[in-house]
A and B are shown apart, each in its own frame.
Chain A
């Protein structure tokens, strides 16, 4: 059974600092997704990682995938307040776009 674990679950940090969110999954998965969710809102797609060694960057966010270690990371560089949100990773089951989700990391960035 595919399980996804994120850590930390809660992160409070100062603007300008760097930090990394970790996402481990338990069995082989084809693809790894990162989403952002603001309070009371839906899920906004950030990255889709398709293969081992994949790295994608958008602004201050960078995601990577190591399929051998079954690990994905979301790195935040020089955080700004606007990045405060909950970040979810999700692993895809059976190549059918069905996602198994982590519990989310609530990120608070203090100005």
Chain B
């Protein structure tokens, strides 16, 4: 266990559904991240939150909407997704500062039908 917990582990949703992914860490970290992992591609950084403030949005479509209510919780709200959005969504956290290791959750395997 890395100390980063993601729910649900698996999610199947239709293109008209609205769902949310949840991430929680109690490691005392102050930065949290959403990554997308697709087959045969490197991890893609989607969003970065430092001290609850969004500091990076890597040109992610608006159908993905992050929320960070506090430094321990991170959500990814999903609506009107496309089949190509099917992937493993990984949450990570780290201490702010240089040379920082990211601690990853187990991921949510999302399938859009």
The answer to whether A and B come from one shared complex is: no
* Chain A interface (Cβ < 8 Å from any Cβ of B): none
